[in-house]
Amino acid sequence: AAHKIDSAAIESHQKMVTSREWFYNGTRVLFDAKVKAIVDMTTHDQTFSVFERVVMPDNVSNDGARWLTMLPGFPDGSYGWSKVDSLIKDETSPRLYVEYVGQGDSDKPDKSQYHYSTMERADLVEAQWAHHGVKNTVIATFDYSSLVLLELLQRQHERKQQGKPVTTKIEHLLLINGGYFSDGHSHPILTTPLLQTWMGRMGCWMAQRSHFAFNMMIKPLFSSEYDVSAKELDEVYEAITRRNGAMFMSNAAGFVREHKELHESRWDLKNALVGLKNASVKLVGSEKDAFEPKQLALAKERLDQSKIETELIPGGHMATSEQAHVLAKFVDDMVAKK
Protein backbone atom coordinates (compact mmCIF):
# COMPACT_ATOMS: atom_id res chain seq x y z
CA ALA A 1 0.00 0.00 0.00
CA ALA A 2 1.27 3.48 -0.85
CA HIS A 3 1.50 6.08 1.90
CA LYS A 4 2.19 9.56 0.59
CA ILE A 5 3.58 12.39 2.68
CA ASP A 6 0.16 13.98 2.48
CA SER A 7 -1.80 16.72 4.22
CA ALA A 8 -2.10 14.64 7.40
CA ALA A 9 1.68 14.59 7.77
CA ILE A 10 2.03 18.26 6.87
CA GLU A 11 -0.75 19.23 9.28
CA SER A 12 1.09 17.45 12.09
CA HIS A 13 3.72 20.21 11.86
CA GLN A 14 1.20 22.50 13.56
CA LYS A 15 -0.15 19.87 15.96
CA MET A 16 3.09 18.70 17.50
CA VAL A 17 3.44 18.16 21.23
CA THR A 18 6.26 20.29 22.59
CA SER A 19 9.15 18.55 24.31
CA ARG A 20 8.26 20.39 27.52
CA GLU A 21 4.71 19.02 27.39
CA TRP A 22 5.99 15.52 26.65
CA PHE A 23 8.35 15.41 29.61
CA TYR A 24 5.89 17.17 31.94
CA ASN A 25 3.44 14.30 31.46
CA GLY A 26 5.96 11.65 32.46
CA THR A 27 8.01 10.93 35.54
CA ARG A 28 11.57 10.09 36.57
CA VAL A 29 12.32 6.86 38.44
CA LEU A 30 15.59 5.47 39.80
CA PHE A 31 17.31 2.73 37.83
CA ASP A 32 20.02 0.77 39.61
CA ALA A 33 22.26 -0.49 36.83
CA LYS A 34 24.09 -2.91 39.16
CA VAL A 35 21.04 -4.83 40.39
CA LYS A 36 19.14 -4.06 37.16
CA ALA A 37 16.02 -2.83 38.91
CA ILE A 38 13.92 0.25 39.58
CA VAL A 39 14.66 1.25 43.19
CA ASP A 40 13.46 3.77 45.77
CA MET A 41 16.77 5.41 46.66
CA THR A 42 20.24 6.06 45.32
CA THR A 43 22.86 3.82 46.92
CA HIS A 44 25.87 4.17 44.59
CA ASP A 45 27.13 5.96 41.49
CA GLN A 46 25.49 3.47 39.11
CA THR A 47 21.97 4.53 40.06
CA PHE A 48 20.40 6.96 37.61
CA SER A 49 17.11 8.78 37.25
CA VAL A 50 15.38 7.72 34.03
CA PHE A 51 12.34 9.23 32.41
CA GLU A 52 9.30 7.13 31.63
CA ARG A 53 5.87 7.99 30.37
CA VAL A 54 2.92 5.72 31.09
CA VAL A 55 -0.40 6.28 29.34
CA MET A 56 -3.16 4.42 31.17
CA PRO A 57 -6.48 4.56 29.24
CA ASP A 58 -9.66 5.16 31.20
CA ASN A 59 -11.33 2.03 32.57
CA VAL A 60 -8.16 -0.03 32.08
CA SER A 61 -6.35 -1.56 35.04
CA ASN A 62 -2.98 -3.23 35.08
CA ASP A 63 -4.49 -6.52 36.27
CA GLY A 64 -4.21 -8.80 33.26
CA ALA A 65 -3.80 -5.95 30.79
CA ARG A 66 -1.55 -6.44 27.79
CA TRP A 67 0.81 -3.49 27.59
CA LEU A 68 2.20 -1.64 24.60
CA THR A 69 5.92 -0.96 25.06
CA MET A 70 7.35 1.83 22.89
CA LEU A 71 11.14 1.71 22.58
CA PRO A 72 12.89 4.91 21.44
CA GLY A 73 15.14 5.79 18.54
CA PHE A 74 18.54 7.42 18.24
CA PRO A 75 19.04 10.25 18.89
CA ASP A 76 15.64 11.82 19.73
CA GLY A 77 14.54 9.28 22.37
CA SER A 78 10.99 8.88 23.61
CA TYR A 79 10.03 12.34 22.37
CA GLY A 80 10.30 10.96 18.85
CA TRP A 81 7.09 9.02 19.54
CA SER A 82 5.12 12.12 20.55
CA LYS A 83 3.27 12.58 17.26
CA VAL A 84 2.48 8.88 16.97
CA ASP A 85 1.23 8.83 20.55
CA SER A 86 -1.23 11.64 19.87
CA LEU A 87 -2.70 9.65 16.95
CA ILE A 88 -3.00 6.20 18.57
CA LYS A 89 -6.68 5.33 18.92
CA ASP A 90 -6.36 2.21 21.08
CA GLU A 91 -8.02 2.47 24.49
CA THR A 92 -7.36 -1.06 25.74
CA SER A 93 -3.62 -1.19 26.44
CA PRO A 94 -1.47 0.78 28.88
CA ARG A 95 1.45 2.35 26.99
CA LEU A 96 4.98 2.47 28.38
CA TYR A 97 7.41 4.88 26.74
CA VAL A 98 10.95 3.96 27.72
CA GLU A 99 13.76 6.52 27.91
CA TYR A 100 17.26 5.04 28.09
CA VAL A 101 20.03 6.46 30.26
CA GLY A 102 21.45 9.36 28.25
CA GLN A 103 18.30 10.36 26.37
CA GLY A 104 15.46 12.82 26.85
CA ASP A 105 14.79 13.63 30.49
CA SER A 106 16.91 10.75 31.81
CA ASP A 107 20.26 11.33 33.50
CA LYS A 108 23.10 11.72 31.02
CA PRO A 109 26.38 10.55 32.53
CA ASP A 110 29.59 10.77 30.56
CA LYS A 111 30.81 7.50 29.04
CA SER A 112 33.67 7.56 31.57
CA GLN A 113 31.00 7.12 34.27
CA TYR A 114 28.65 4.72 32.52
CA HIS A 115 28.98 1.94 29.96
CA TYR A 116 26.46 2.73 27.25
CA SER A 117 25.37 -0.46 25.51
CA THR A 118 22.45 -2.41 24.10
CA MET A 119 22.68 -4.76 27.07
CA GLU A 120 22.11 -2.02 29.64
CA ARG A 121 19.16 -0.72 27.61
CA ALA A 122 17.61 -4.19 27.66
CA ASP A 123 18.26 -4.33 31.42
CA LEU A 124 16.34 -1.07 31.85
CA VAL A 125 13.36 -2.31 29.83
CA GLU A 126 13.12 -5.47 31.90
CA ALA A 127 13.45 -3.43 35.09
CA GLN A 128 10.55 -1.21 34.03
CA TRP A 129 8.41 -4.20 33.12
CA ALA A 130 9.03 -5.64 36.59
CA HIS A 131 8.36 -2.26 38.20
CA HIS A 132 4.97 -1.96 36.51
CA GLY A 133 4.05 -5.62 36.76
CA VAL A 134 3.87 -6.08 32.99
CA LYS A 135 2.93 -9.71 32.29
CA ASN A 136 2.30 -9.45 28.53
CA THR A 137 3.36 -6.83 26.03
CA VAL A 138 3.42 -6.00 22.36
CA ILE A 139 6.40 -3.88 21.33
CA ALA A 140 7.06 -1.10 18.84
CA THR A 141 10.67 -0.08 18.19
CA PHE A 142 12.27 2.72 16.23
CA ASP A 143 15.84 2.81 14.96
CA TYR A 144 18.48 1.29 17.25
CA SER A 145 15.94 -0.16 19.68
CA SER A 146 15.59 -3.02 17.22
CA LEU A 147 18.82 -4.33 18.77
CA VAL A 148 17.35 -3.99 22.25
CA LEU A 149 14.34 -6.02 21.14
CA LEU A 150 16.55 -8.71 19.62
CA GLU A 151 18.35 -9.03 22.96
CA LEU A 152 15.04 -9.18 24.85
CA LEU A 153 13.79 -11.93 22.53
CA GLN A 154 16.96 -13.94 23.09
CA ARG A 155 16.61 -13.59 26.86
CA GLN A 156 13.00 -14.75 26.73
CA HIS A 157 13.95 -17.78 24.63
CA GLU A 158 16.85 -18.66 26.95
CA ARG A 159 14.61 -18.55 30.01
CA LYS A 160 12.17 -20.91 28.35
CA GLN A 161 14.99 -23.26 27.38
CA GLN A 162 16.35 -23.23 30.93
CA GLY A 163 12.92 -23.88 32.46
CA LYS A 164 12.90 -20.48 34.14
CA PRO A 165 9.72 -18.39 34.42
CA VAL A 166 9.10 -15.76 31.75
CA THR A 167 7.85 -12.84 33.82
CA THR A 168 6.95 -10.70 30.79
CA LYS A 169 5.74 -12.45 27.66
CA ILE A 170 6.66 -10.67 24.42
CA GLU A 171 3.95 -10.95 21.79
CA HIS A 172 3.43 -8.99 18.56
CA LEU A 173 6.21 -6.80 17.15
CA LEU A 174 6.44 -3.65 15.03
CA LEU A 175 9.98 -2.62 14.04
CA ILE A 176 10.62 0.65 12.18
CA ASN A 177 13.86 1.60 10.39
CA GLY A 178 15.88 -0.80 12.50
CA GLY A 179 18.87 -3.04 12.06
CA TYR A 180 18.13 -6.76 11.98
CA PHE A 181 21.29 -8.21 10.43
CA SER A 182 24.85 -7.08 11.16
CA ASP A 183 25.83 -7.05 7.49
CA GLY A 184 22.88 -4.83 6.58
CA HIS A 185 23.93 -1.60 8.30
CA SER A 186 24.65 1.30 5.94
CA HIS A 187 25.39 4.20 8.28
CA PRO A 188 27.12 7.00 6.31
CA ILE A 189 30.64 7.78 7.47
CA LEU A 190 29.65 11.25 8.67
CA THR A 191 27.03 9.85 11.09
CA THR A 192 27.56 7.21 13.81
CA PRO A 193 31.08 6.26 12.61
CA LEU A 194 32.25 9.88 12.90
CA LEU A 195 30.35 10.45 16.16
CA GLN A 196 32.62 7.92 17.90
CA THR A 197 35.75 9.95 17.13
CA TRP A 198 37.15 13.09 18.76
CA MET A 199 35.76 15.07 15.83
CA GLY A 200 32.31 13.63 16.53
CA ARG A 201 32.58 14.55 20.20
CA MET A 202 33.56 18.06 19.22
CA GLY A 203 30.53 18.22 16.93
CA CYS A 204 28.25 17.14 19.78
CA TRP A 205 29.83 19.76 22.06
CA MET A 206 29.03 22.40 19.45
CA ALA A 207 25.51 21.04 18.88
CA GLN A 208 24.75 21.47 22.59
CA ARG A 209 25.60 25.15 22.32
CA SER A 210 24.44 26.07 18.83
CA HIS A 211 21.10 25.52 17.12
CA PHE A 212 22.87 25.99 13.80
CA ALA A 213 25.41 23.23 14.52
CA PHE A 214 22.65 21.00 15.86
CA ASN A 215 20.49 21.48 12.78
CA MET A 216 23.43 20.65 10.53
CA MET A 217 23.58 17.25 12.21
CA ILE A 218 19.85 16.50 12.50
CA LYS A 219 18.13 18.03 9.48
CA PRO A 220 19.57 15.47 6.98
CA LEU A 221 17.70 12.72 8.87
CA PHE A 222 14.46 14.11 7.41
CA SER A 223 13.53 13.80 3.75
CA SER A 224 13.51 16.91 1.59
CA GLU A 225 9.86 16.24 0.71
CA TYR A 226 8.90 16.59 4.36
CA ASP A 227 10.62 19.98 4.66
CA VAL A 228 11.00 19.84 8.42
CA SER A 229 10.06 23.13 10.06
CA ALA A 230 12.29 25.28 12.25
CA LYS A 231 9.76 24.81 15.05
CA GLU A 232 10.05 21.03 14.92
CA LEU A 233 13.83 21.18 14.82
CA ASP A 234 13.73 23.44 17.87
CA GLU A 235 11.64 20.89 19.77
CA VAL A 236 13.98 18.05 18.82
CA TYR A 237 16.88 20.23 19.95
CA GLU A 238 15.21 20.79 23.31
CA ALA A 239 14.62 17.05 23.73
CA ILE A 240 18.14 15.93 22.82
CA THR A 241 20.10 18.69 24.58
CA ARG A 242 17.98 18.52 27.75
CA ARG A 243 20.19 18.05 30.83
CA ASN A 244 23.26 18.85 28.74
CA GLY A 245 22.59 15.73 26.67
CA ALA A 246 23.94 16.29 23.15
CA MET A 247 27.07 14.30 24.00
CA PHE A 248 24.88 11.19 24.14
CA MET A 249 25.05 11.15 20.35
CA SER A 250 28.74 10.35 20.70
CA ASN A 251 28.58 8.33 23.93
CA ALA A 252 26.07 5.84 22.50
CA ALA A 253 27.07 5.81 18.84
CA GLY A 254 28.83 2.45 19.04
CA PHE A 255 25.75 0.25 18.72
CA VAL A 256 26.48 -0.77 15.12
CA ARG A 257 30.07 -1.70 15.98
CA GLU A 258 28.71 -3.60 19.00
CA HIS A 259 26.36 -5.50 16.69
CA LYS A 260 29.05 -6.40 14.16
CA GLU A 261 31.92 -7.21 16.50
CA LEU A 262 30.26 -8.71 19.58
CA HIS A 263 26.78 -10.03 18.88
CA GLU A 264 26.46 -10.74 15.16
CA SER A 265 24.67 -14.07 15.66
CA ARG A 266 22.80 -13.24 18.85
CA TRP A 267 21.26 -10.09 17.38
CA ASP A 268 20.27 -11.69 14.09
CA LEU A 269 16.53 -11.42 13.53
CA LYS A 270 16.24 -14.93 12.13
CA ASN A 271 17.90 -16.37 15.23
CA ALA A 272 15.98 -14.13 17.62
CA LEU A 273 12.59 -15.18 16.23
CA VAL A 274 13.20 -18.90 16.84
CA GLY A 275 11.51 -18.87 20.22
CA LEU A 276 8.67 -16.50 19.32
CA LYS A 277 5.44 -18.41 18.74
CA ASN A 278 2.00 -17.22 17.63
CA ALA A 279 3.12 -13.63 17.24
CA SER A 280 3.01 -11.25 14.29
CA VAL A 281 6.15 -9.42 13.13
CA LYS A 282 5.91 -6.32 10.96
CA LEU A 283 9.04 -4.62 9.60
CA VAL A 284 8.69 -1.09 8.26
CA GLY A 285 11.33 0.78 6.26
CA SER A 286 11.51 4.29 4.81
CA GLU A 287 12.31 4.73 1.13
CA LYS A 288 14.98 7.37 1.83
CA ASP A 289 16.41 6.04 5.07
CA ALA A 290 20.19 6.39 4.73
CA PHE A 291 20.96 4.18 7.73
CA GLU A 292 19.20 0.85 7.19
CA PRO A 293 18.04 0.73 3.55
CA LYS A 294 19.20 -2.88 3.05
CA GLN A 295 17.46 -4.43 6.01
CA LEU A 296 14.00 -5.04 4.50
CA ALA A 297 15.50 -6.76 1.46
CA LEU A 298 17.63 -8.97 3.70
CA ALA A 299 14.58 -9.83 5.80
CA LYS A 300 12.67 -10.88 2.68
CA GLU A 301 15.63 -12.98 1.58
CA ARG A 302 16.42 -14.67 4.89
CA LEU A 303 13.12 -14.99 6.76
CA ASP A 304 10.05 -17.14 6.26
CA GLN A 305 7.65 -14.73 4.56
CA SER A 306 4.66 -16.49 6.03
CA LYS A 307 5.80 -15.32 9.47
CA ILE A 308 6.65 -11.69 8.81
CA GLU A 309 5.19 -8.69 7.01
CA THR A 310 7.32 -5.98 5.43
CA GLU A 311 6.28 -2.54 4.26
CA LEU A 312 8.18 0.30 2.61
CA ILE A 313 6.83 3.80 3.23
CA PRO A 314 7.88 7.18 1.79
CA GLY A 315 10.16 9.58 3.56
CA GLY A 316 13.48 9.76 5.34
CA HIS A 317 14.81 8.16 8.49
CA MET A 318 12.59 10.13 10.88
CA ALA A 319 9.46 8.17 10.07
CA THR A 320 7.97 8.84 13.50
CA SER A 321 7.72 12.50 12.46
CA GLU A 322 7.14 12.20 8.72
CA GLN A 323 4.68 9.31 8.78
CA ALA A 324 3.19 9.54 12.27
CA HIS A 325 -0.37 8.91 11.07
CA VAL A 326 0.72 5.77 9.18
CA LEU A 327 2.73 4.41 12.09
CA ALA A 328 -0.09 5.09 14.54
CA LYS A 329 -2.35 2.96 12.34
CA PHE A 330 0.28 0.18 12.32
CA VAL A 331 0.46 0.38 16.13
CA ASP A 332 -3.33 0.18 16.46
CA ASP A 333 -3.41 -2.78 14.09
CA MET A 334 -0.78 -4.59 16.15
CA VAL A 335 -2.51 -3.96 19.46
CA ALA A 336 -5.80 -5.24 18.02
CA LYS A 337 -4.28 -8.65 17.29
CA LYS A 338 -5.14 -11.44 19.74
Residues 132-168: tens digit of each pLDDT: 999 999 999 999 999 999 999 999 999 999 999 999 9
What residues does 96 pair with on adjacent strands? 54, 69
**Which long-range CB contacts under 8 A does 286-289 form with residues at least 24 apart?**
286/177, 286/223, 286/312, 286/313, 286/314, 286/315, 286/316, 286/317, 286/319, 286/322, 286/323, 287/312, 287/313, 287/314, 287/315, 288/223, 288/314, 288/315, 288/316, 288/317, 289/177, 289/316, 289/317, 289/319
Give pLDDT tens digits for 36-82: 999 999 888 999 999 999 999 888 877 778 999 999 999 999 999 99
Q: How many CB atoms lie within 10 A of CB 134?
A: 21
In this prediction the pTM is 0.94
Looking at residue 189, what is its pLDDT?
84
For the segment 188-223, what is each residue's pLDDT rounded down to a tens digit? 888 898 899 999 999 999 999 999 999 999 999 999
pLDDT of residue 13: 46
User: In the prediction, which pLDDT does 16 show?
Assistant: 84
Band of pLDDT at residue 14, cut at 50, 70 and 90: very low
* H/E run at residue 320: helix 319-322
